[in-house]
Amino acid sequence: MDLFESNNIPFQNIIGFGSDGCNTMLGANNSVVSRLKLNLPGIIVQKCICHSLHLCASEACKVLPRHCEDLARNIFGYFKNSSKRHNLQNFRHFVQNL
């Protein structure tokens, strides 16, 4: 809150807050959100969807059979190392340097 005051930003202009889901930011006690809600009871709080999706994917991968993970890695490697992809990159560099 001092940061807003020192930069002449009206604290009352804040209508929303977005962050990852850690307790420091969104916890019930002594978090950034709990402190904001003391002064701005109507503030809209949104947890970052990217962090939530990452947590879901991480948990899903814990139970994913190894052969499925290997298949995904092999498909990625196939496209990453394809000669057509390298030819396209070379052409792109050529065009950029014209």
Q: What one-character DSSP code corresponds to residue 14?
A: -
pLDDT tens digits, 40-53: 989 999 988 888 88
Average pLDDT over residues 15-39: 87
- Rounded alpha-carbon distances, angstroms, from residue 26 to 3, 71, 75: 19, 37, 38
Task: Copy the structure tokens of residue 36.
Answer: 């904001």
Q: Is the pLDDT of residue 81 over 90?
A: no
- Supply the mean pLDDT for the chain: 87
C-alpha–C-alpha distance, residues 29 and 73, integer Å: 42
CA distance between the termini of the chain: 51
Q: Tell me: pLDDT of 80 over 80.
A: yes
pLDDT tens digits for range 57-68:
888 888 888 898
In angstroms, rounded to a whole number, what is the distance separating the alpha carbons of residues 92 and 98? 10
Res 14: pLDDT: 87
Q: What is the mean pLDDT of residues 72-98?
A: 88
In whole angstroms, what is the distance from residue 39 CA to residue 14 CA? 10
- Split at pLDDT 50, 70, 90, the class of 24 is confident
Which stretch of 2-6, 23-27, 34-38 has the lowest confidence by average pLDDT? 2-6
